Amino acid sequence: GGEMDIAQVVRRWWIPTSPVQLLQSQHNLLNHFVRKNIQSRQVVLRSSGYAINFVDSVTPSPSPPIVLMHGFGSGLGFFFRNFDDLIGHGNITRRVLAADWLGMGASSRPSCSSSPRSPILPLSSPLSPKDAVSFFTDSLNEWADAVGLTKFILVGHSLGGYLAAKFALSHPERVAGLVLASPVGLPDAPMDFVDSSDLPLGLRLIDAAWSANVTPQQIVRMLGHRGPTMTTNAVKMRFRNKFSETEASLIADYLFHISAAPGSGEFAMNSLLRPVVARDGRAGVYARDPVGTQLTSLATSNVPLLLLFGDHDWMRQPALSDVCDSLEHAGVRFQSLLIEGAGHHLYLDNHPMFNHIITQFVDRISHK
């Protein structure tokens, strides 16, 4: 109706973004960094009519395809340092795909009624973690069908790692190997944590914003025309001196457009995760339904697992050693490795090592 049109016009004026600009910024970013030929595509899911945005190297290869899945508030474009090495050269090449989760990146952004939002009003029941997970994993499964992938190596970063783990548990027959790169939500939350009313004011505000589902993307949207400047500064701060001015602006432009697009998948954050401050003062983000011990079932389905963390990664919690112990005890084929000189964004911080470890993992699976 007319009201909706006016709302969209105001939105466009206030927030300088659009789906066309988003895809253009993805193209510009990948075009600058990726030498290999990758095709940008979208498939429409039959069940819902929503589109999944993805890129595909379409490389002929005897080994299972590699599917890269991004983390919260990110998009497939952030794997710009990984495509070339993973695709490979000479007589060893691999097919590499990367997709945007439904409700994120340049995939469809279902409106709030169908997106996994945990309601702000305490009267209505929040979306269960199970329903929020299905929103993402069902659409990934349908996308894999549409693209014709029967079995693939699934690589997930951060929240994408948590969702990839959940996918491998519900569809083990499709997963030739699982790589969790600095995943969120493996260990159980500490038993001894501080009640939010005892937290210092700054942390109380974060806790309240989290509970009310205020996402970083909403802040970028509220900034309107100032959003691009803020994202540029954020990129420069996070990846100090790693990129030239041109490169930093390509990354920031992409980050701005994926953050400023209409909110959808990001609202799952509150249904899936919660911030916890332990009595020892350590703050962390934990899953409402931790996936670590559930991964022991990979022993039965015989899915090899690779766990990667950066050596100064805030997601590397002490409780992870318990998870590793239970995986080992259950007889899961798994390896846990640290990426040197890397934080949570290990696939960018030390891309040569990250790429090398994954290609070794993939080639080992292919030669089995």
pLDDT above 60 (res 121) = no
The residue with greater pLDDT, 45 or 131, is 45
Q: How is the chain split among helix, strand and coil, in percent rounded to 5?
A: 45, 15, 35
The tens digit of pLDDT for each residue in 27-57 reads 999 999 999 999 999 999 999 899 999 999 9
Instruction: Quote the longest CA-to-CA distance of the chain.
Output: 61
Query: What is the average pLDDT across 189-214?
Result: 57
pLDDT digits (tens, 9 = 90+) for 161-194: 999 999 999 999 999 999 999 998 998 887 766 6
Single pTM value for the model: 0.85
Query: Which pLDDT score, from 0 to 100, does residue 287 have?
Result: 86
The C-alpha atoms of residue 172 and residue 274 are separated, in whole angstroms, by 27
Per residue in 3-42, is it b (16+ CB within 10 Å) or e — as a string? eeeeeeeeeeeebebeeeebbebbeebbeebbebebeeee
Contact 41, 58 (CB under 8 A): no
Per-residue pLDDT reduced to its tens digit, 341-363:
998 889 999 999 999 999 999 99
What pLDDT was estimated at residue 74? 85
Q: Please give the sequence-ordered ranges of beta strands (E in DSSP) within 278-346, or none if there are none.
A: 283-287, 305-310, 334-339
- Residues near 316 by Cβ (< 8 Å), separated by ≥ 6? 182, 309, 310
**DSSP helix/strand/coil, 15:** coil
State percent of the chain over pLDDT 70.
Answer: 72
DSSP letters for 78-98: GGTTTHHHHHEETTEE--EEE
Classify residue 148 as left (phi > 0), alpha (psi -120 to 50) or beta. left
Contacts of 57 (CB under 8 A, 6+ apart): 36, 37, 38, 39, 83, 87, 94, 95, 96, 97
Q: Are strands 283-287 and 273-277 parallel, antiparallel or unpaired?
A: antiparallel
CB of 140 within 8 A of CB of 69?
A: yes
Q: Give phi and psi for 292, each to the nearest 5.
A: -50, -60
Residue 216 scores a pLDDT above 60? no
**Mean of pLDDT over the chain:** 81
As given in the structure block, the two tokens for residue 37 are: 């030929």
Residues 255-300 have pLDDT tens digits of 877 777 666 655 566 778 777 766 666 667 788 899 999 999 999 9
Q: Does the pLDDT value for residue 1 go beyond 60?
A: no
| Average pLDDT value for residue range 299-324 | 91
Phi, psi of 156 (to 5 degrees): -125, 135
What is the percent of the chain with per-residue pLDDT over 90, rounded to a whole number? 47
CA pair distance 70, 305, nearest whole angstrom: 18
Residue 33 and residue 80 in contact, taking contact as beta carbons nearer than 8 Å? yes
Output 161 or 198, whichever has higher pLDDT: 161
What does the pLDDT read at residue 274? Answer: 75
Q: Is the pLDDT of residue 24 over 70?
A: yes
Highest-scoring range by mean pLDDT, 117-126, 295-304, 309-318:
295-304
